[in-house]
Structure 1
Amino acid sequence: MSSTSDTAPSVTVLLGDFLERFAPDEAASAREKSITLAELIDALDERAFGLGILILALPCAVPFLYGIPQIVALPMLALAAQLAMGREHPWLPDTLGRRKVAVGGLKTVVRRAHSTLGILEKLTAPRLTALTDGVGARIVGALMLIPAGSILLPFPLTNTTPGIGVGIAAVGLLERDGLLVLLGLAIGLVWVFLLVFFGAEAISAAKDFLLTRLSS
């Protein structure tokens, strides 16, 4: 049986070709060109949800990158929610669709992620495909809302690891690899659980400390 990678472009090729449509590298204005998120989403093909979520997750997965993650977090949530609802093609409301991103910035992020994505591609194979279609994909979309929601929070440690988890799950959707989807979801969900747990512990400890100080 041939794998998906035998019949479809690899994720890295798919990303590069897709962004090349908007600003070819040889164009003098490529670095300055911006596109709206609506234009980005409208140009996606039948692999729209996986590719769209991956494009939006990649900037969030880069450590110490600020600005772009805050722009793409809400659209990522919107795509995950629509995947959970079973929509065939993603759509963004005007308030999110009008947001602009620099094509040059996205290309830079893709280049930085190229080696990591290449390693993931070598490990992928069509398996547990029930998680990448139909009801399984809807459940995946619903679970993606949790790590994607974490990226919205303007606190340390809430962006990078959840972004990595969502990105891995998106590659799994593109390659029809349910095992990779599970790995990505596990990374994102466990990290958010740890943030909530230790955050609650820290708040409780701070509260006890203040009460002790006030009563002394």
Structure 2
Amino acid sequence: MWVRTADKSMTLYEMLVKMQPRNKQDVFEFGDFWDVMEKRGFGPMLAFPSFIACTPIGAIPGVPSLAGGTILLIALQILLGRRHPWLPQKVMELQCDADQLRAIVERVKPFAVRIDRFLVPRWFFMRQPVFRSLIALCCVGCGMVMIPFELIPFMGLIPAFAVFIMAIGMATDDGAVALIGVSMSLFGFVLGFESLASAVS
């Protein structure tokens, strides 16, 4: 999941640039991002669906569930010890409006530059197998709960954002940020299930 090499580590700004569709694109497929980033580890792969779920695109019915299912598949592969992530072709062909995604990324870029000042390789103990498994389990849990949480307005944002934070920590080799994401996911589970129980009752 994490590799001690400079070419694997990324900045948040770099990840956003990779998520941004080319100017001539009308439709952006998940496979477009995958082809560019598949050799950069699991962090960027988890970042893309969780980022989409956190944007206005995530308000489209069905998108949180699709993003959650994708996160679940990727995180399970971390637990299984796969070296390179894999997804079914149908997931790779999922599309979103390129202009909308491009505009969202442009708005977020200035904030990414500021955040990158605080993202540094640290807390390498988070790369140990026990902590890798903890992060992967949290991502699995977040992916699973994003599906029923779609029934509660805005509740799916919590696990999606937690995965995005963990993914940033993984991609930038910042173990402290990854741990923050783990804490957010645990808080989200408690809050979300309480809200879900209230909605059902």
Please tell me the TM-score bracket, short chain as reference.
Answer: 0.7 to 0.9
1:1-216 matched pairs, under 5 angstroms:
9-16=10-17, 18-19=18-19, 23-25=21-23, 27=24, 30=25, 32-35=26-29, 37-62=30-55, 65-67=58-60, 68-132=63-127, 134-153=129-148, 154-156=150-152, 157-200=154-197, 203=200, 206=201
The letter for the 1-side match of 2:182 is L
Structure 2, unmatched stretches of 5+, are: none
Contact preservation (8 Å) 1:128, 1:177: yes
SS in 1 for 2:96: strand
- Structure 1 residues 91 and 105: alpha-carbon distance in aligned structure 2, compared to 1, 3 A threshold: farther
Cα distance in structure 2, aligned partners of 1:43 and 1:133: 27
- Say how many residue pairs are matched: 194
- Structure 1 residues 161 and 94: alpha-carbon distance in aligned structure 2, compared to 1, 3 A threshold: same
Contact preservation (8 Å) 1:41, 1:91: no
When the two chains are superposed, the root-mean-square deviation of aligned CA atoms in Å is 3.0
What TM-score, normalized to structure 2? 0.79
Structure 1, unmatched stretches of 5+, are: 207-216
Contact preservation (8 Å) 2:51, 2:161: yes
Cα distance in structure 2, aligned partners of 1:83 and 1:7: 16
The letter for the 2-side match of 1:33 is V
What TM-score, normalized to structure 1? 0.74
Cα deviation for residue 139 of structure 1 reads 2.9
Cα deviation for residue 181 of structure 1 reads 0.6
Cα deviation for residue 158 of structure 1 reads 2.7
- The structure having more radius of gyration, on CA atoms, is 1
- Structure 1 residues 70 and 143: alpha-carbon distance in aligned structure 2, compared to 1, 3 A threshold: closer
